[in-house]
Structure 1
Amino acid sequence: MNREQAITEAFVSLTDTVADDVDPITLLRRLVDHCVHLTSMDAAGVMLANARGRLQSAVVTEERVELTEVLQAQVSEGPCVDAYATGEPVHADDLAESGQRWPVFTPLARAAGFSAAHSFPLQLRSQTIGALNLLARTPTPLSPQDGRLLQALVSTTTTSVLTWNREPLRPYDIVTRTQAALSVKGVLDIAAGMVAATAHITPAEAGQRLRAYAVARHQRPAEVAEDLVRRRLTPDAVLAPPP
């Protein structure tokens, strides 16, 4: 598959809001995966604002990204925090030069193995609901081409996330739907923890097993997670080989 085909498929997957196995977190997970596969970035994540306007990690491509996101939320500094606050993209091509800009975030990100950070706000109707977090292991500027592509991917995904159930979107629904996506993330984390404890695997691996189970049965991962948490489904069932 060439680059043009990959980009086309990315946009198609990000606008698929009617499939039985798609929910807001699934769309955000597709976004971060496409960002890594289609650009020079090595890792990505999305932070969403809760009802109090505080950023929370929603999806990541690897656990080290979530560590950087949690810290940004705790100390209120970093590229995602700035992108969310200003509504503008934030770029740090080389974190070695950003120590004064983000004195707490920068050393942690570098200790986690990242040397560049970029962030794009998630916006709809001039309302910012979160930010895309992009990290690279070496000092890496974003090319104008990648910057335009990332902005388009973010805009498409934000619209899909907030309108995925096809109900009319009123201005005051934006916060409600963002909060609903974060609630889904919380249930998914609990369910992944249950699977991880049963199989003695990492939460990330457990999340992959949960999503694979959902895809095989044309269910939303959130529905499978809810069934696990409410004991309508056992971790062993999720871990069993597909029929």
Structure 2
Amino acid sequence: MAASVDERLAQTFVDLADTLVADFDLMEFLHVLAARSVELLEVDAAGLLLADGRGALRLVAASTEQARMAELFQIQNDEGPCVDSYRSGQPVTVTDVRSPDIVSRWPRFAAAAQEMGFAGVHAIPMRLRDQVIGTLNLFCSAPVSLDPAVARAAQALVDVATIGILQERAVRQREVVAEQLQAALNSRVMIEQAKGILAERHGVTPDQAFVMLRRYSRDRNRPLTQLAAGVISGSAEITGSAGITGSAGITGSAGAGS
């Protein structure tokens, strides 16, 4: 049994790795993970819950409609093993949803799970150190405890998936930061160019030109970068010595409606 699980686990890692490419599709990755979990771990259905930016759980993938409904039920009613696993950061195993302790602990979920044809549920937190990002949830139609080899495979699968998701988020965040930095650099270049144009045009220093540009931007409630772009393109022209002597004017399309 263990060797068979190991072989299937290795193939699952290969399948997941195929999705971790430059144009990484998170939803495709999650759906592959749900489908492979059913095949590898010998369960009847699987679902994935991920926390959004506010920490609220969202259903992101399910292998069957019944699993989808079971996941949504837990989210909507804030009750069930998957919700508890996310909050505690620990695996939660329900061998039989009909057992008195489970019915007492999650009465609505226990009833709903039976209606959907599930008797056993195994929720595994997706965590890296102290950060929990969601849960992988396994559903069984009969009361069952996971074989130790299967449980180890499930944990390995969750660990790899968690690292993949966090890596994708880190890359996306770096891209956002890089875009913001590039935008700031581009804005700075435009402002420097506009300062040079104004300094030459009005016979002032670059620092005085910047005062003109900034004062006009504030007085007219116009973004500094936008105004600088207008000065460079010639669509906006600051006349006089705006911000230095208190007199300022503008000609061209930028002054319309001013």
TM-score (norm 2): 0.61
Counterparts of 1:169 and 1:89 in 2: how far apart (Å)? 29
In structure 1, distance between residues paired with 2:169 and 2:19? 7
Q: Which structure has greater helix proportion?
A: 2
The counterpart of 1:103, out of the listed 103, 107, 128, is: 107
d(CA) in 2 for partners of 1:37 and 1:21? Answer: 26
| 8 Å Cα contact 1:47/1:132 also seen in 2 | yes
- Describe the shift of the 1:18–1:154 C-alpha distance in structure 2 as closer, same or farther (beyond 3 A): closer
Identity of aligned residues (%): 37
Can you give the 5+ residue segments of structure 2 that lack an aligned partner in the other structure? 178-258
Equivalent of 2:78, from 76, 79, 84?
A: 76
Structure 1 regions of 5+ residues with no counterpart? 174-243
Conservation of the 8 A alpha-carbon contact between 1:23 and 1:164: no
Deviations 1:27-73 (A, max 9, x none): 21121112111123110000011122111110000111111111111
Distance in 2, matches of 1:3 and 1:89, equals 20
Q: Is the 8 A contact 1:14 1:31 kept in 2?
A: yes
**Partners of 1:163 and 1:169 within 8 A in 2:** no
Give the conservation status (yes or no) of the 8 Å contact 1:15–1:156.
no
Q: When the two structures are aligned, how many residues end up with a matched partner? A: 170
C-alpha separation between the residues in 2 aligned to 1:81 and 1:74? 10
RMSD of aligned Cα (Å) = 2.2
Give the direction of change, closer, same or farther, for the CA distance of 1:169–1:87 in structure 2 (3 Å limit).
Answer: farther
Q: Which amino acid aligns with 1:28?
A: L
Q: Secondary structure at the match of 2:105?
A: coil
Please name the residue that 1:15 is paired with.
Answer: 17
- Structure 2: which amino acid aligns with 1:112? M
Higher relative contact order (CA 8 A, sep 6+): 1
Secondary structure (helix, strand or coil) at the match of 2:103 reads: coil
Following superposition, the deviation at residue 13 of structure 1 comes to 2.1
Equivalent residue for 2:167, pick from 163, 166, 188: 163
2:35 pairs with 33, 36, 50, which one?
Answer: 33
- 2:48–2:62 contact (8 Å) kept in structure 1: yes
- 1:28 is paired with a residue of what secondary structure? helix
Matched with 2:200 is none
- For 1:47, the equivalent position in structure 2 comes to 49
Is residue 167 of structure 2 the alignment partner of residue 128 of structure 1?
no
Question: Stretches of 4+ moved more than 4 A in 1?
Answer: none
Once the two structures are TM-superposed, the CA of residue 79 in structure 1 deviates from its matched residue by 1.0
- The answer to whether the Cα contact below 8 Å between 1:49 and 1:56 also exists between their aligned partners in 2 is yes
Larger Rg: 2
Give the aligned residue type for 1:77: E
